[in-house]
Amino acid sequence: MIHVFAFYLFACIMIAAGALTIFARNPVHSVLWLIVAFFNAAGLMVLLGAEFIAMLLVIVYVGAVAVLFLFVVMMLDIDFAELRAGFVDYLPFGVLIALVLLAEILLGVGIWQAGPIELAQRAAPAPTDAHNIEAIGALLYTRYIFLFEAAGIILLVAMIGAIVLTHRARAGVRGQNIDSQNRRRPQDAVVNVNQPVGQGVEL
Amino acid sequence: MDTASLLMTAPELILTGAGLILMLIAAYAGDGSARLVSVLAVAALAVAGVSLTGIAGHGGDAFDGLYVADAFATFGKVLIYVSAAVAIIIAPRFFAAGRAIRAEYPVLILFATVGMGLMVSARDMLTVYIGLELNSLAAYVLASFMRQDSRSAEAGLKYFVLGALASGILLYGMSLLYGFTGSTSFAGIATAMGDGLSKGELFGLVFVLTGLAFKISAVPFHMWTPDVYEGAPTPVTAFFASAPKVAAMGVTVRIAMEAMGSALHSWQQIVIFVALASIIFGAVAAIGQTNIKRLLAYSSINNVGFALIGLAAGTAEGVASVMSYLAIYVVMTIGSFLCVLQMRDVNGQPVEEIASLSGLSQSRKGLAAAMAIFMFSLAGIPPLMGFWAKFLVFDAAVAAGLTGLAAFGIAASVIGAFYYLKIIKTMYFDAPADAYAPAGSRIESALIAVCAVIIVIGYLLNPLLDTASAAAAAALQ
């Protein structure tokens, strides 16, 4: 019962949030609605028993992609009134193209026979006695460890590349020199001056 | 995890370890260590090459069939390591002229080489993709390595955007294949395709071939090639034109033969079209070029077309001819780019105009002769090696019953010969232009001489090359 209730709750909120993403006038609101939609999609994944994908949705889509979106939307100064100008003029032509595309999609789907999806050949059938996070982890760190490590090297190359392309040695910058900073003693750096009144300081 | 698998991946482990250590040296010692890092990187490539003589060269499947160490992979890796070593050796002098020498260059080449090694050794779509990304990501950075130069930055950005698009297409194809065959391994895909090719599998096949056609820069996915080759620093261009071509071609051949072997008639027509389009477009578009690097970019498109004719045959003989073609192509291309590196004005600045080659035969006799040899060979004039390469692919095509394709290819190679001969005419019969700076590097001159000698007396090496490429072709299942 609670399962069914949770499904309809997540599904309805997700569809509503999706619609509001499109219809919100303010682009920042759009992105926020998108985040709501992602969260509810994650909820649906949990109901399906795919908790790993649910976590990925939250971490990757909400944590990284949506925040990046928000960043970009806030930085760009988009004039939506200007974008909407001429909307009515182009409407008939747009509708015509939409109809053509729709007809093509219907035709394509109608005659589409993709063939069976094979499940017998899977390298690792889903285990029944383990959570799927555990199962994915066990597979990733045993059978696919070689590729997992190689993917790590890709990230390293990306990091090296970013530094090579953007790092510049600027002149006149005071970098840290931890060793000499630690070796410095108060008597090297601080001077006690008995300063007479009315005269300039000599440093 | 078993030790045998680790031993079979020895070349990749050696290169990765060397890359990490050299990265630390580069980070702590700064750009002053560029020369030292370069020497050590070449040494690491040599060690990795030597390791191929052991179990890493013929051990068979490793890591549950994700990776394979066989004669095909070894053939590809030897070519890749040689090209990478040359790209490292010729770099310091080029970058020193622009004061852009950086110690990260050899490190990035090493990591790209690891990726290419994974590609030719892949027997699983996942390995193909990881290897391809590792290679591509390093290549994007290398293309824009001279970041002060706007052309180099443009080349890097173009390569990155279009390369990411191609990776996406390739990945889409792989996911379709996985969905409709239930497996990412080549053997599993071959099993599923064996009982008839479904529409879904056909879609996957087309997308995968499209993504790979981009990586080998075959028409109609070649648009990035001239711009990237022109903009990238010349040593990097020499690298792009040789090693990644071998790797991408190797992975294409392996996927086509091992994973999609039973769908030969489905991909054969695609490969035939791509091959003919590449040959004709590569030849025709090169005619109007004035920049030598752009011209060589079109020449590489043209050559990829010829190599694909061997693949179109779909036989073991055809695969052997592709491997022979790649080996000979690498030598010709590296030789040509070494000659391009010699093109510097009296101030030591690189020159890329073809017109500046005028009368080279009077000022630099040796360089002009070497360049003429490479151009004659690329044009396929006997008895040079370039002729033998073309002969092998056409022979394989005829043997497979594709006589029309072979005839068309031969006719189109005449168009290609026009612009190669035009360069020779410019060097030997035109009024001299401003002389170049004298050759400054013994190593580069020696490398040019070695390439030229291989091209000229290469037919003595033919039995060796034939044996190696036949063994490579036989290794494919």
Q: Do A161 and B67 touch (CB under 8 A)?
A: no
* Of residues B459, B438, B370, B382, the one with CA closest to residue B413: B382
Is the domain of A5 the same as that of A67? yes
Structural domain for A137, as ranges: 131-170
Q: Which pLDDT score is estimated for B433?
A: 80
Q: Do A118 and B131 touch (CB under 8 A)?
A: no
Is the domain of A4 the same as that of A75? yes
At residue B160 the predicted structure's pLDDT band, cuts being 50, 70 and 90, is very high
Q: What is the DSSP letter of B350?
A: B
- When the pLDDT of each residue in chain A is averaged and rounded to a whole number, the result is 86
Q: Which pLDDT score is estimated for B325?
A: 96
- The pLDDT tens digits of the residues spanning B73-113 come to 999 999 999 999 999 999 988 888 766 778 899 999 999 99
At residue B453 the predicted structure's pLDDT band, cuts being 50, 70 and 90, is very high
Q: Which pLDDT score is estimated for A126?
A: 74
Domain boundary at A44, A79, A114, which?
A79
Sequence-ordered list of residues with C-beta below 8 angstroms from that of A80, at least 6 positions apart, any chain = A25, A27
Structural domain for B110, as ranges: 3-475
**A58: domain CATH number?**
1.20.120.1200
Lowest mean pLDDT among A24-28, B368-372, B390-394, B442-446: A24-28
At residue B126 the predicted structure's pLDDT band, cuts being 50, 70 and 90, is very high
Are the C-beta atoms of residues B186 and B180 closer than 8 Å to each other?
no
User: φ, ψ for residue B470 (rounded to 5)?
Assistant: -65, -40
Residue B1 has pLDDT above 60, yes or no: no
Q: Do A160 and B141 touch (CB under 8 A)?
A: yes
Q: Do A154 and B134 touch (CB under 8 A)?
A: yes
Question: Which residues of chain B lie closer than 8 angstroms to A165, CB-CB?
Answer: 141, 144, 147, 156
Q: Do A117 and B179 touch (CB under 8 A)?
A: yes
Q: Which pLDDT score is estimated for B30?
A: 83
- The pLDDT tens digits of the residues spanning B38-64 come to 999 999 999 999 999 988 888 889 998
* Of residues B159, B152, B435, B418, the one with CA closest to residue B285: B418
- The pLDDT tens digits of the residues spanning A16-36 come to 999 999 888 888 888 999 999
Q: Which pLDDT score is estimated for B273?
A: 95
Rg (CA), chain A: 30
Query: How much of chain B, in percent, has pLDDT values that exceed 70?
Result: 99
Distance from CA of B49 to the nearest CA of A (A): 20
A149 occurs within a structural domain: yes
- Structure tokens belonging to residue B330: 């690498």
Count of domains observed in chain B:
1
The residue-averaged pLDDT of A191-202 equals 80
A85 occurs within a structural domain: no
Residue B28 has pLDDT above 80, yes or no: yes
Count of domains observed in chain A:
2
- Closest chain B residue to the Cα of A154, Cα to Cα: B134
Q: Which pLDDT score is estimated for A116?
A: 73
ipTM of the complex: 0.92
- The pLDDT tens digits of the residues spanning B383-434 come to 899 999 999 999 999 999 999 999 999 998 898 899 899 999 999 998 888 8
- The pLDDT tens digits of the residues spanning A116-153 come to 777 777 777 777 787 888 888 888 898 899 999 999 99
Helices B125-143 and B234-254: crossing angle, nearest 10°?
A: 170
Residues of A with a Cβ under 8 Å from any B Cβ are 112-123, 142-147, 150-151, 153-154, 156-158, 160-161, 163-165
* Of residues B367, B342, B340, the one with CA closest to residue B354: B340
Residue B253 has pLDDT above 70, yes or no: yes
- Tell the burial category of A81 from Cβ atoms under 10 Å away from its Cβ (0-12, 13-18, 19+): exposed
* Of residues B112, B27, B137, B127, the one with CA closest to residue B69: B127
A94 occurs within a structural domain: no
Mutate to test the interface with B, among A145, A164, A166, A167 (most CBs of B within 10 A): A164
3-state secondary structure A135-178: HHHHHHCCCCHHHHHHHHHHHHHHHHHHHHHHCCCCCCCCCCCH
Is the domain of A2 the same as that of A74? yes
Among A116, A122, A156, beta carbon nearest to B198: A116
- The pLDDT tens digits of the residues spanning A82-108 come to 777 777 788 889 899 999 999 988 888
B371-391: buried (b, 16+ CB within 10 Å) or exposed (e) per residue?
Answer: bbbbbbbbbbeeebbbbbbbb
Distance from CA of A190 to the nearest CA of B (A): 33
Q: Which pLDDT score is estimated for A80?
A: 67
pTM, entire model: 0.89
3-state secondary structure chain B: CCHHHHHHCHHHHHHHHHHHHHHHHHHHHHHHHHHHHHHHHHHHHHHHHHHCCCHHHHCEEECCCCEEECHHHHHHHHHHHHHHHHHHHCHHHHHHHCCCCCCHHHHHHHHHHHHHHHHHCECEHHHHHHHHHHHHHHHHHHHCCCCCCHHHHHHHHHHHHHHHHHHHHHHHHHHHHHHHHCCCEHHHHHHHHHCCCCHHHHHHHHHHHHHHHHHCCCCCCCCHHHHHHHHCCHHHHHHHHHHHHHHHHHHHHHHHHHHCHHHHHHHHHHHHHHHHHHHHHHHHHHCCCCEHHHHHHHHHHHHHHHHHHHHHHCCHHHHHHHHHHHHHHHHHHHHHHHHHHCCECCCCCECCEHHHHCCHHHHCHHHHHHHHHHHHHHHCCCCCHHHHHHHHHHHHHHHCCCHHHHHHHHHHHHHHHHHHHHHHHHHHHCCCCCCCCCCCCHHHHHHHHHHHHHHHHHHHHHHHHHHHHHHHHHHCC
- Closest chain A residue to the Cα of B197, Cα to Cα: A115
Q: Which pLDDT score is estimated for B360?
A: 87
Distance CA(A144)–CA(B64), nearest Å, equals 9
Mutate to test the interface with B, among A109, A141, A155, A160 (most CBs of B within 10 A): A160
The residue-averaged pLDDT of B332-358 equals 89
Number of Cβ within 10 Å of residue B13's Cβ equals: 17
A193 occurs within a structural domain: no
- The pLDDT tens digits of the residues spanning B109-118 come to 999 999 999 9
- Closest chain A residue to the Cα of B8, Cα to Cα: A146
- When the pLDDT of each residue in chain B is averaged and rounded to a whole number, the result is 92
Domain boundary at A79, A104, A139, which?
A79
Question: Which residues of chain A lie closer than 8 angstroms to B8, CB-CB?
Answer: none
Question: Which residues of chain A lie closer than 8 angstroms to B9, CB-CB?
Answer: 146
